[in-house]
Amino acid sequence: MISFDLSPRIAEMKNAIRSLAEQAMRPIAREFDEKEHEEPHEFQNLMWSISGGRAFGSSDDAPNEGKSSGPREGNLGACVTIEELSWGDAGLYLSIPNAGLGGAAVMAAGTAAQKTRFLGRFAEGQPKWGAMAITETHCGSDSAAIQTTAVRDGDDWVLNGTKIYCTSGDRALRSGGFVVVWATVDRTAGRRGIKSFVVESGTPGIKVIKVEDKLGIRASDTAMIVLEDCRIPADNLLGVAEVHQSTEGFKAAMATFDATRPLVAASALGIGQAALDLARQELAQRGVEIRYDRCDAHLSAIERDFLDAEADLQAARLLTWRAGWMMDRGQRNNLEASMAKAKAGLAVTRVTQKCVEILGPIGYSRQLLLEKWMRDAKINDIFEGTQQINMLIVARRILGYSSKELS
C-alpha cells in the first residue's frame, strides 16, 4: 500500500527543526547574507551541540517508528529535515558543521575502516566540516576530464592540481575536517583513472587561495583550493586503486550523488516553501486569500499563479521523498535522485521568482527575505549536477543509452 504519511519520528523531528529554523536561523539570515565571509559562530556551535556532528535528520540507520526490524528511514528523514533547515535559511543550513558532501563520498566509496577513521572525528571535539572537490576551471559537468593528478610514491599518493568552487572547503581545512579530492591516476585512462582521495586538514601542500563572493547562499563558504605536492597516505584513497581494471572507482565516487542529490532537492523545497508561505501571508494582509475550492475560471490571476507554483513544488517534494525512501530500502535510486534534483532545482527558481513577481515592489525590496530566497534558489539548479546534466541522466536511464551514446 502506498502511504504518503511521514512516520511519527520524522513528523516530530520536522516540527522540532521548524522551531529551530524560526528561532535560530531566520533572525540572523539577513545579517550573514550581508556579511558574506563572516562566520555565524554562535549558530554553528549551537548546531554542533545539538547534532553531535552528525548530519541533521539522518540518524544514520534509524529504523521506522522505533521498530528495530522496520524499514530504514534515515535518508527520508534527512530530506524532511533539510527542507525545514532551508526554510529557515539555505546559506546557514550549508554552514552547519558536519561531514557534508565529503562524508557522503566516504560513505559511498570508502571501506568500513575508512568510514570509522574519517567520520569518527565528527563525533567529538570542536565543530568540523567535510567537503568534496571535483570541479576545476575547465571541468565541471564533465567530471571525467579532471586534470588534477595523483601519483603513487612509495606508501603515499602525491596530489597536484587546482580545484574551484568547493563548498565548505575553507572551513574543512581550518577545522580538523577533510576534503575528498577527485584526481586522475592516469590522464590517458579517462573515467577509469579517476579516484577520490581524502586530504585531511593540516596536511602540507593543500591550501585555500580564494573564497568566492556569490549571488546567493552567501553564508556558505565556497573555496578555491590548490594542491602542490600534497602527500597523503596510500590508505587515503577511497575504494580500489587498480587503474585499468574497470570504472568501479569512478562509479563508486559518482554514487555519492545518489545520496546527496535528493538532499539538494530538499533544500530547494525549503526555499520554495518559505517563499510561498511569505507570499501567502503578505497577500492575506492585503485581503487576498488563496481559494482552493474554485475552478480555474473563478480564480484571480494571482491565485492561479500561486496554485501553479504550489503544485510545482509539491510534485518536486514527492519525487524527492521517493528518491530518499528508495535509498532507505537499498534500492538503486540513480534515476529518481536525478529526477528529484532536476525538478526541484527548476521548481524553486520558478516559485521564488513568481512570489517576487506576485508581491510586486515589496517582493523585490530588501524589506523582506524574499529577494534573498530568489538569489539562494538558483544554486540548486547548478551544483551536484546542473539542471541539464540531471535531465541527461534521466533520459539515459529511461532510454537505456550509455553516456557515450547520449551526451
**Considering beta carbons, is residue 212 or 357 the nearer one to ligand FAD?**
212
Cβ–Cβ under 8 Å, residues 82 and 92? no
Please name the amino acid found at residue 392. L
Scanning 60-68, 317-325, 363-371, 380-388 for contacts with ligand FAD by CB under 6 A, the matching segment is: 380-388
Scanning 186-194, 197-205, 240-248, 378-386 for contacts with ligand FAD by CB under 6 A, the matching segment is: 378-386
d(CA 171, CA 205): 17
> Quick check: 382 binds ligand FAD (CB under 6 A)?
yes
Please report the sign of the dihedral spanned by the C-alpha atoms of residue 186, residue 187, residue 188, residue 192: positive
Q: Which of 14, 117, 214, 231 touches ligand FAD by CB under 6 A?
A: 214
Scanning 70-78, 259-267, 348-356, 386-394 for contacts with ligand FAD by CB under 6 A, the matching segment is: 386-394
d(CA 7, CA 13): 10
183: cell is 584526481
Least distance (Å) between residue 345 CB and ligand FAD: 11
Q: How far is CA 40 from CA 26, 175, 212, 269, 394, in A?
A: 13, 14, 17, 23, 38
**Considering beta carbons, is residue 322 or 341 the nearer one to ligand FAD?**
341
206: cell is 593543500
d(CA 197, CA 67): 37
**What would the x/- binding string for ligand FAD be over residues 302 to 321, using CB under 6 A?**
--------------------
164: cell is 574551484
Q: Which of 62, 180, 389, 393 touches ligand FAD by CB under 6 A?
A: 389
Which residues in the 184-213 window bind ligand FAD by CB under 6 A? none
* # residues contacting ligand FAD (CB under 6 A): 21
**Considering beta carbons, is residue 47 or 164 the nearer one to ligand FAD?**
164
d(CA 134, CA 108): 15
Scanning 33-41, 104-112, 163-171, 314-322 for contacts with ligand FAD by CB under 6 A, the matching segment is: 163-171
Least distance (Å) between residue 138 CB and ligand FAD: 8
> Quick check: 165 binds ligand FAD (CB under 6 A)?
yes
**Considering beta carbons, is residue 155 or 213 the nearer one to ligand FAD?**
213
**Burial class of residue 52 (count of CB atoms within 10 Å of its CB; 0-12, 13-18, 19+):** exposed
**Considering beta carbons, is residue 132 or 326 the nearer one to ligand FAD?**
132
Q: What are phi and psi of 103, to 5 degrees?
A: -65, -40
> Quick check: 386 binds ligand FAD (CB under 6 A)?
yes
Which residues in the 332-361 window bind ligand FAD by CB under 6 A? none
Least distance (Å) between residue 130 CB and ligand FAD: 10
36, 38, 384, 405: the catalytic one is 384
> Quick check: 379 binds ligand FAD (CB under 6 A)?
yes
Least distance (Å) between residue 406 CB and ligand FAD: 9
Cβ–Cβ under 8 Å, residues 107 and 130? no
For residue 179, the SS3 value is: strand
d(CA 44, CA 30): 16
For residue 120, the SS3 value is: helix
* Residue 384 among the catalytic residues: yes
CB under 8 Å to 335, separation ≥6 — which residues? 393, 394, 397, 398
**What would the x/- binding string for ligand FAD be over residues 101 to 140, using CB under 6 A?**
x-----------------------------xxxxx----x
d(CA 143, CA 125): 34
CA dihedral 373, 164, 80, 19 (to 10 degrees): -60
Least distance (Å) between residue 119 CB and ligand FAD: 18
Q: Which residues pair with 226 in a beta bridge?
A: 162, 207
- The residues carrying an active-site annotation are 384
Q: Which residues bind ligand FAD (CB under 6 A)?
A: 101, 131-135, 140-141, 165-167, 214, 222, 379, 382-383, 386, 388-389, 392, 407
